């Protein structure tokens, strides 16, 4: 990786506003894409007042015909059987903090000090909004207060190093990570070869989560080149903001959600206005693609929706708002309607395409609810959290772990303390600590066989999960505001 930090002015984003309509009819083919069950997030932070002019809503003239291919709809790898309850695993390190009742447990002086510092930090009005926790100083405070430690931060650092080592020459990342620079000793590549936008977005989210942007941070050059890659895809889209890459594939709206989150966060963190229109266009594309009655999104335009795909779009809408990009109320209300249609017990539990009680879809449903304005102290949230706590972190389903960890973090309390102890130790134990090229990455632990996302996907989700302490500020801080806005 070059150590030179390219001049921001060299970014190849000039003329973006023109969304050149060079048509790239990326056509289909996707064999057996099972789809990434990715993850991502963003929450509305208090005191955020959108202050940018909203672009005109883009009317999507649905360019994608209903696909005639017969993909099997693959529900997220749920779960029951793949989840190990690790509740009894004894953590080897101590830590931690409890939220929101920070001072109600017996703590030693260091822990108490960490919480006092965190309270002081969280009580401030941060110019950077929800992303304030990502600065170096804030990270230290929040890691100490919320249950991370030097080991989790080292794991994040090593994971980012591996990702930087596997960036392609054109700035992208691939689920088959073996490319320009890998010496071939890292096994378990993914097989979603054409989903480069999704792979690139996940990597960028991992770097952004630790405070890197194209303007600052250790990995500034990598972030810049990655954003350049996304911008090159953006510039080729026939419909402005369409980042699906393979519109007819099952990965289409996962990709759209991930790319949108990435652009919104990059804009929100850097304030670089060259990113505003692209981010807004991606958000508008998501809004225009929502099912007008059911409120969901799925693989192709016009489908009613499933919880997994909906979760990524809700996170994208939340990322936009956290980045001060305007999002109308209507799509958020519609998304709530979709969640209503798959919930059980007034919203404590969620299914995939209908009401059910499943761990991973419950995690996605609850996190979506929190971003859409529910407060962590609602009885339904508490019930759902109790359920996730009883299931515990999974040994092999990082998609579930990624969502559930965030839900538990925002909820706080003893449930979070226990969850974090198990999740944290599991991630530290399973990271590659060899001297080889795979050092710092995580191998897939997919009991179902070949993992579509492979080592790259596992590494990104693991890093993002370990960034939970500071990637987004705790949602209870925003409770009163959310109530006002919704
Ligand atoms: Zn390698």
Q: How far apart are CA 257 and CA 41, in angstroms?
A: 10
Q: Which tens digits make up the pLDDT trace of 31-80?
A: 333 333 333 333 333 333 333 223 333 333 333 333 322 222 233 333 33
Instruction: Report CA(150)–ligand 1 centroid distance (Å).
Output: 25
Query: Within a domain: residue 6?
Result: no
Q: Which tens digits make up the pLDDT trace of 98-142?
A: 444 444 445 578 888 888 999 888 888 888 888 999 999 999 999
pLDDT category at 224 given cuts 50, 70, 90 is very high
Query: Within a domain: residue 143?
Result: yes
Q: How far apart are CA 268 and CA 279, in angstroms?
A: 10
Max Cα–Cα distance, the chain, nearest Å: 63
Least confident of 169-183, 256-270, 343-357: 169-183
Query: Within a domain: residue 79?
Result: no
Instruction: Report CA(165)–ligand 1 centroid distance (Å).
Output: 7
Instruction: Report CA(461)–ligand 1 centroid distance (Å).
Output: 17
Q: Which residues contact 218 (CB under 8 A, 6 or more apart)?
A: 212
Q: In this structure, are residues 152 and 405 in contact, taking their beta carbons and an 8 Å threshold?
A: no
Instruction: Report CA(161)–ligand 1 centroid distance (Å).
Output: 11
Query: Within a domain: residue 359?
Result: yes
Is a pLDDT exceeding 50 seen at residue 3? Answer: no
Q: What is the pLDDT of residue 9?
A: 43
Instruction: Report CA(48)–ligand 1 centroid distance (Å).
Output: 41
Global pTM?
Answer: 0.80
Higher per-residue confidence, 298 vs 83: 298
Instruction: Report CA(166)–ligand 1 centroid distance (Å).
Output: 6
Q: Which two tokens stand for residue 221?
A: 């050059």
Is a pLDDT exceeding 50 seen at residue 479? Answer: no
With H, G, I as helix, E, B as strand and everything else as coil, classify residue 161.
Answer: helix
How large is the C-alpha radius of gyration of the chain? 20
Cα–Cα nearest to 265, from 35, 41, 9: 41
Instruction: Report CA(155)–ligand 1 centroid distance (Å).
Output: 17
Instruction: Report CA(463)–ligand 1 centroid distance (Å).
Output: 17
Cα–Cα nearest to 337, from 308, 359, 369: 369
* CATH number of 154's domain: 1.50.10.20
Q: Which tens digits make up the pLDDT trace of 142-174?
A: 999 999 999 999 999 999 999 999 999 999 999
Q: How many domains does the chain have?
A: 1
User: Can you give the residue range of the structural domain that contains 215?
Assistant: 94-485
Q: How far apart are CA 206 and CA 189, in angstroms?
A: 19
Query: Within a domain: residue 326?
Result: yes
Q: What is the pLDDT of residue 332?
A: 96
> Tell me, what DSSP letter sits at residue 257?
H
Query: Within a domain: residue 368?
Result: yes
Instruction: Report CA(451)–ligand 1 centroid distance (Å).
Output: 17
**Alpha helices of 55-149 — where are they, by DSSP H?**
109-122, 136-146
Q: How far apart are CA 468 and CA 486, in angstroms?
A: 25
What average pLDDT does this structure show over 325-352?
97
Instruction: Report CA(182)–ligand 1 centroid distance (Å).
Output: 4
Q: Which phi and psi angles does 120 have, rounded to 5°?
A: -65, -40
Query: Within a domain: residue 209?
Result: yes
Question: H or E element: which one contains 350?
Answer: strand 349-350
Cα–Cα nearest to 299, from 217, 244, 354, 239: 244
Q: Which two tokens stand for residue 460?
A: 């990104």
Higher per-residue confidence, 25 vs 291: 291
Instruction: Report CA(27)–ligand 1 centroid distance (Å).
Output: 30
Q: Is the dihedral of CA 331, 337, 338, 339 positive or negative?
A: positive
Cα–Cα nearest to 295, from 348, 259, 331: 331
Q: What is the pLDDT of residue 74?
A: 31
Instruction: Report CA(439)–ligand 1 centroid distance (Å).
Output: 9
Instruction: Report CA(180)–ligand 1 centroid distance (Å).
Output: 9
- Average pLDDT taken over every residue of the chain: 80
Q: In this structure, are residues 278 and 62 in contact, taking their beta carbons and an 8 Å threshold?
A: no
Query: Within a domain: residue 31?
Result: no
Q: How far apart are CA 176 and CA 324, in angstroms?
A: 35
């Amino acid at each position: 990786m070059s150590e030179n930090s390219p001049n921001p002015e060299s970014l190849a984003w000039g003329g973006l506003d023109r969304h050149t309509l060079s048509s790239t009819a990326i056509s289909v083919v996707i064999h057996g894409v099972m789809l990434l069950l990715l993850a991502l997030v963003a929450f509305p932070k208090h005191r955020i007042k959108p202050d940018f002019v909203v672009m005109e809503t883009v009317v999507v003239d649905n360019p994608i015909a209903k696909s005639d291919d017969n993909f099997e709809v693959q529900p997220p790898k749920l779960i029951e059987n793949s989840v190990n309850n690790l509740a009894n695993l004894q953590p080897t390190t101590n830590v931690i903090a409890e939220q929101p009742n920070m001072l109600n447990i017996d703590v030693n002086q260091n822990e108490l000090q960490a919480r006092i510092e965190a309270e002081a930090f969280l009580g401030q009005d941060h110019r950077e909004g929800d992303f304030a926790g990502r600065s170096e100083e804030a990270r230290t405070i929040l890691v100490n207060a919320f249950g991370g430690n030097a080991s989790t931060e080292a794991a994040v650092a090593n994971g980012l190093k591996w990702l930087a080592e596997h960036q392609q020459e054109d700035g992208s990342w691939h689920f088959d990570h073996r490319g320009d620079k890998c010496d071939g000793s890292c096994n378990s590549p993914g097989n979603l070869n054409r989903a480069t936008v999704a792979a690139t977005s996940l990597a960028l989210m991992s770097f952004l989560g630790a405070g890197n942007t194209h303007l600052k941070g250790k990995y500034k050059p990598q972030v810049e080149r990655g954003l350049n890659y996304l911008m090159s895809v953006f510039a080729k889209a026939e419909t402005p903001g369409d980042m699906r890459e393979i519109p007819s594939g099952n990965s289409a709206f996962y990709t759209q959600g991930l790319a949108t989150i990435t652009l919104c966060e990059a804009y929100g963190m850097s304030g670089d206005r060259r990113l505003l229109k692209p981010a807004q266009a991606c958000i508008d594309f998501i809004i225009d693609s929502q099912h007008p009655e059911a409120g969901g999104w799925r693989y192709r335009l016009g489908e009613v929706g499933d919880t997994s795909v909906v979760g990524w779009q809700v996170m994208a809408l939340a990322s936009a708002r956290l980045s001060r990009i305007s999002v109308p109320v209507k799509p958020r209300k519609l998304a709530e309607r979709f969640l209503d249609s798959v919930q059980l017990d007034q919203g404590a539990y969620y299914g995939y395409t209908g009401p059910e009680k499943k761990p991973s879809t419950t995690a996605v449903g609850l996190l979506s609810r929190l971003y859409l304005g529910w407060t962590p102290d609602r009885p339904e949230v508490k019930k759902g959290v109790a359920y996730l706590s009883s299931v515990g972190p999974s040994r092999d389903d990082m998609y579930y772990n990624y969502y559930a960890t965030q839900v538990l973090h925002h909820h706080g309390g003893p449930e979070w303390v226990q969850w974090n102890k198990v999740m944290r130790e599991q991630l530290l134990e399973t990271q590659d600590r060899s001297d080889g090229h795979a050092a710092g990455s995580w191998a897939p632990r997919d009991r179902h066989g070949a993992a579509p996302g492979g080592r790259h996907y596992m590494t990104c989700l693991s890093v993002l999960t370990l960034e939970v302490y500071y990637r987004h500020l705790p949602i209870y801080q925003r409770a009163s505001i959310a109530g006002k806005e919704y």
